[in-house]
Structures are given as C-alpha cells and as structure tokens.
Structure 1
Amino acid sequence: MKIHLCTLSAVLATALAACATGAPPAATVAPADAFLAALANHCGQAFAGRIVVDEPASPGPDAFAGKALVMHVRGCDEPSRELRVPFHVGDDHSRTWVITRTGTGLRLKHDHRHADGSEDVLTMYGGDTAAPGTAMRQEFPVDAESVALFEREGSEASVTNTWAIEVEPGQRFLYELSRPGGRLFQVEFDLTRPVDLPPAPWGSQAP
C-alpha cells in the first residue's frame, strides 16, 4: 500500500525527535524507514553540490572539474519502497542512484545510461546494507553480483567498494565511495537551497 509523504514526514519527525532527546526511536520505526523518509522529504526538489573529498586524486582528467553538480530526488511514486536520485554532472545525465527498501534494510544501485537511454556496460552495481545504520547514514558494501561485474569488465579496484549516503533533512546530502587503501570520494549537496530542476536522466521520462 502506498504511504503518502505526510506519513513519511511523521515517521521522520518521530525519529529525529528521538535523536534530539537521546531517547531510542519507536520500536516500529526501523532506521531504514526513517532514512527513506528523510530523503523523501525532498521529493521533487533538486540541489547543487560540490566535491568535498577526492583522495587520492586521479592521475587522469577530472570528470567533475568545472562541472555543475546537481542531484534531483525523483521517482517518488512509492517513497516507502524506492527513491531514484539522478546525479547530473554538467551535461552528463547518465547517473542515477536507486535506493530500494528490502526485507532487511536498504539496497543502493547505480543506474548508468548512455544518451540514447541504453544501459552502460557498468550499470546496476552496488550493494545491500549489512547493518541497521541510522536515520542519517546508511552504508552499502559491494554485493557479489557487482563484484562479478567489476571483475568481468576489468574494474578490479572496485571489488572492495563500500558506498554510503547521509541525509540531514533541510541541511545536507552526502554521497560517499570508499575502499581499503585510502580511496575516499565524497560529494555533498546543500539542501537549504533548492535549484532549478535539471533535465530527466538519460533513459527516463521527463519529470
């Protein structure tokens, strides 16, 4: 059954109030649900971002240098089950983060497309949460399916990836990639200032 945004907002308010007082959240509010509610609170809005950490720096051309970075919370038809968050890099509309509620937590997948809407060879990779996380932060270790994909396509460095997302409603959204050996990439978005909506991501219908 579809849960309306007002209900999700109520769930989020309960979880955040519990955090503020130090009391545990209600037993019926799983961290995964509170996290989705925090993100769904921004459905239909877009926000500008910036790279805050990129270590070690890539020896090749920086794909993000000088480009406008914008995230757009969309795909909110069933916000208690799935949210889609396109990540636009200048005129490149190929990336969408897909966050799905599972029976035990959350799943993050990276939907990568070409301009004609066809799938990139490296697409729908990611992982499931291995721990409950919190209403503010969820971590996604790489899953076996993605490891097989990376190995098949010669991206062995990615087989130890862990992704994370942080949401502070009305304040900030953070996407993170880390792996052993010191690799850390973080892009942060300012949720205090919505910006004009970007085009639909490649392979999707207009907003």
Structure 2
Amino acid sequence: MAPAASPAPATSPVVQAAPLVSAQAHQQFFDQLRSLCGQAFEGRVVQDQPKSGRGFEGRLLMHVRRCSEREIQIPFHVGEDHSRTWIISQTGSGLSLKHDHRKADGRSDASTMYGGHTREAGWPQLQSFPADPYSQELFLRQGMAASVGNIWQLMIHTELKSFSYRLLRESREFRVDFDLSQPVPPPPAPWGYSD
C-alpha cells in the first residue's frame, strides 16, 4: 500500500519571475536613458557619409516616450514622418535595440524590427549593437547585403548634455546628435501607437 500523500503546506511557496541580470555598464546606460522618460529633444544629422539620400529633412526629434523596468521606447520623428520607434530592451544577457517601422496607417513596414544585441559590456555612456541574425536575414531577403554588417551605437554624453544615434558599417556612417539641455514639447504618438 502506497503511503498517504503529505498534506499541502499551509502557505504556498513564493513564485517570482527569474530576475534579469546585466553587466553593470548595461544597467547604468539603461538607467541613464530611462531618466529622460517623458522628454523630447531636437537633433541634427552630424554625419551622413556617403549621403544616403533617405530624406532626413525636417525637424528631427527623439521622444523618450514609454519606459518600464525592461523596455524603453523612443520614437524618432523626421518632420511629418512618424514611422520610426527605437526599442531598447533588457534581455537578461545584455541590451537589445530594435527599429519598429510603421506605415502611416499603423501597419508594420516590410522592413521592421531589425536591430542588434550587445555582445560586450560596453560603457555607461556607450552601447554597441551589431546586427542580429533576424536582421541579417531580413537585409539579405531585401537585397541589402551591405547592411548585414551594421553596428548601431547609442551614446549618452552627460558632460555635453547630448544623446547620439549612430549607424556604422563598411564605407558608411550616419549619426544624429540630440541636445539634452533643451527639452522641447513632445511630438504626437508615432504611427501604430496611441497616447
């Protein structure tokens, strides 16, 4: 005869999600960026070699719009084009940067959610995101083989009170600097998002 089952404990065990762990520099960078939540800043293209011809015309704004313990959403507005949102996430093994591209009606663009993941600790002021496998496959499918080697960098210059978004690859550099010393009124919600 099998022994009787033990009665259930009077209290259930504590159930918690596994903690996210990051290198100290990842956490410091994320926290600095999150401290800007709710604010918008104007920027300008400081490097575009060779010229991309992609039309970064009009007022450039970044809006640190939504922030949680694990994710920061930063729409990047180019004039009346509200199609781009940068998404920085803590993954438990570093930081991820994704580019959410939407059409004016809110639908996802064919080229969306590309980006990269940190491979090194980086610094509290700078993180690098080499293109991840999903992005590399997407670029190849779209005939953009040169983009397979993309590395995106995000930089926070506390002394200069600026934030930089930078794209690097062989024979290509693009960079936008944003002035953190002068917040501006927030722009409208990016396409595909609501207030």
TM-score normalized with structure 2 length:
0.85
Whose helix proportion is higher, 1 or 2?
Answer: 1
Q: What is the alpha-carbon distance in structure 1 between the residues aligned to residue 54 and residue 71 of structure 2?
A: 31
| Structure 1 residue 156 corresponds to structure 2 residue 156 | no
Separation in 2, partners of 1:128, 1:135: 16
What's the offset of the Cα at 1:56? Answer: 1.1
Percent of residue pairs identical: 50
Residues 27-65 of structure 1: per-residue CA shift (max 9 Å, x gap): x9711110011111110000000000011123xx45013
Q: Which segments of 5 or more consecutive residues in structure 2 lack a partner in the other structure? A: 1-15, 17-21
Letter in 2 for 1:34: Q
CA contact (8 A) 2:43 2:179 kept: yes
Does 2:156 align with 1:167?
yes
Runs of 4+ in 1 over 2 A off after TM superposition: none
Task: Give the conservation status (yes or no) of the 8 Å contact 2:23–2:121.
Answer: no
Aligned-partner Cα distance in 2 for 1:130–1:64: 29
Which SS does the other structure have where 1:120 is aligned?
A: coil
The separation in 1 between residues aligned to 2:23 and 2:133, in whole angstroms, is 29
- CA RMSD of superposed structures (Å): 1.6
Aligned to 1:40: 34
Residue 70 of structure 1 aligns with an amino acid whose one-letter code is L
Residue 177 of structure 1 aligns to which amino acid in structure 2? L
- Uncovered stretches (5+) of structure 1, i.e. residues with no partner: 2-27
50, 66, 85: which one aligns with 1:75 = 66
TM-score in terms of structure 1 length = 0.81
2:190 aligns with one of 166, 178, 201:
201
Separation of aligned partners in 2, 1:121 and 1:63: 19
Q: How far did 1:104 drift?
A: 1.5
Higher Cα radius of gyration: 2
Question: SS state of the match for residue 200, structure 1?
Answer: coil
